[in-house]
Amino acid sequence: MSQRISKIIRRATVAWMAAALAAGTALPSQAETLKFLLPWGATSEGNMVVAQCLMNIIEETTAGEIKLQKFDNSVVPPFEQFEPVASGVFDLHYTNPAYHSGNTVIGQLMDTVTPNMEKRHESGLWDMVDEAYQTRNLKVLALGASTGFQFFLRNQIGEAGSLEGLKIRSNPAYDGTIRKLGGAPIQLPITEVYTSLQKGLIDGTAFPAHGVASSKMWEVADYMARPMFGQGTTLVAMNLDKWNGLSLEIQAKMLEAGTRFENECYGAVAEVATRDEDMMKENGMEITEFGTEAASNINQYYNEGIWERAEKNGGDEAKEIISFIKDNGLVYAGRED
């Protein structure tokens, strides 16, 4: 284990103990209170709504036998949360798999899969992903589908009907889509996007469909490009040692909670996305449309970008799952509801 990860784990452990003591409670015992880590804070409203949905479902499904003590990105940075959960400093993790793609790309492959939960489970794909995570000491409880992504632009889409010649703020998940649309992906921290748009250093940014209202993008970008593209993944995983220490009864209830979360989480975050879009329009942001070719292929562009990166970084394990997705007709082509 690297010295940096060791420091993060020590810091997280101290923060957890301090929080428990400050609350005037005894430190939790196994199979009663789980230390729940997520990579977002209060400013990420959509994700916090989903996190609360998960917490409610677990407590209801287990009839209060399991409670969650929440820790956010103020304790462990978003892209460094995989190891503290896998090593057992935290018990339960809700995240987008893109945040730990440096540890494994397998979870993010679910972005390219149909959101139909029955197909995900009955095909055997869900079990394949779970097995991959168990080799990393994590037990998957849920692999839900979330909302997709969009582009905010300073100007309307031009005659080319694409992002041709534009500099677009990106992250590795969006890079392939931006390039296939003719744009140049620019890596910037999210904290620099607003000022970069304001100064004209970039022409636009990719952004999730939900949780955008707090960014006030309408102040620095005039257009929302449509259609949106792709989908996110809501991964819930548990430290495998902690999981193995639970009774069979509690394990069954936690899996039931995971299935329920998969079927309910999209509705919770989609409601936030709809409200956010309405707010953007109310503040003057307008819709600009991609051309026919780009609009028809944008989901495939996103899928291919994820696959290319996964094949490069995930080796034979990723290639096997990608082939399974394609061969079994599980490729994401848009929402089915």
CATH number at residue 90: 3.40.190.170
To the nearest 10°, report the CA torsion of 303, 309, 314, 315: 100
Instruction: Say if 336 falls within a structural domain.
Output: no
| DSSP-assigned states of every residue in 93-139 | EEE-GGGGTTT-STGGGGGGB-S-HHHHHHTSHHHHHHHHHHTTTEE
Residue 337 falls inside a structural domain: no
Q: According to the model, what pLDDT value does residue 5 have?
A: 44
Please tell me whether residues 135 and 166 are part of one structural domain: no
Query: Is the same domain home to 20 and 50?
Result: yes
Q: Do both 131 and 52 map to the same domain? A: yes
334 inside domain: no
Tell me, yes or no, whether 238 and 220 share the same domain: no
62 and 87 within one domain? yes
Q: Check whether residue 124 and residue 212 sit in a common domain.
A: no
Helix (H, G, I), strand (E, B) or coil at 169: strand
Are the C-beta atoms of 107 and 35 separated by less than 8 Å? no
In 3D, which of 66, 60, 8 has the Cα closest to residue 34?
66
Q: Which residues pair with 18 in a beta bridge?
A: none
If 0-12 CB within 10 Å is exposed, 13-18 middle and 19+ buried, where does residue 224 land?
A: buried
Residue 127 lies in a domain: yes
259 domain-assigned: yes
Q: Would you mind telling me the total number of residues written for the chain in this entry?
A: 337
Question: For residues 150 and 221, is the Cβ–Cβ distance under 8 A?
Answer: no
Domains contained in the chain, number:
2
Instruction: Collapse the DSSP code of 281 into the 3-class scheme (helix H, G, I; strand E, B; otherwise coil) and give the result.
Output: helix
What are the C-alpha distances in Å from 93 to residues 210, 307, 319?
A: 20, 24, 26
Write out the chain's pLDDT in tens, 337 residues.
445 444 544 554 445 545 544 544 444 444 479 999 999 888 787 888 899 999 999 999 999 999 999 999 999 999 899 999 999 999 999 999 989 989 999 999 999 999 999 999 999 999 999 999 999 999 999 999 999 999 999 999 999 999 999 999 998 889 999 999 999 999 988 889 999 999 999 999 999 898 788 789 999 999 999 999 999 999 999 999 999 999 999 999 999 999 999 999 899 889 989 999 999 999 999 999 999 999 999 999 999 999 999 999 999 999 999 999 999 999 999 886 5
State the residue range of the domain holding 312.
Answer: 149-230+280-327
CB 147 within 8 A of CB 273: yes
Structure tokens at 301: 């562009």
Instruction: Show the CA angle centred on residue 48, arms to residues 282 and 171, nearest 5°.
Output: 75
Q: Nearest-CA neighbor of 333 among 116, 144, 175, 124?
A: 116
106-135 core/surface letters (b: 16 or more CB in 10 A; e: else) = bbbbbbbbbbbbebbeebebbebbbebbee
| DSSP helix/strand/coil, 68 | strand
pTM summary value: 0.85
Nearest to 285 by CA among 228, 223, 227: 223
* Same-domain status, 254 and 215: no
Residues 21 and 115 in one domain: yes
Q: What is the pLDDT of residue 25?
A: 43
Would residue 332 count as lying in a domain?
no
Q: Residue 222: name the closest of 283, 148, 158, 289 by CA.
A: 283
44 domain-assigned:
yes
What pLDDT score was predicted for residue 210? 86
- Residue 335 covered by a domain: no
**Do 36 and 118 belong to one domain?**
yes
pLDDT value for 215: 84
Alpha-carbon gap, residue 228 to 334, rounded angstroms? 10
Contact 155, 167 (CB under 8 A): no
Same domain, 259 and 212: no
CA–CA separation, 141 vs 256, rounded Å?
Answer: 9
The verdict on 50 and 136 lying in the same domain is yes
Considering the domain architecture, whether residues 307 and 261 belong to the same structural domain is answered as: no
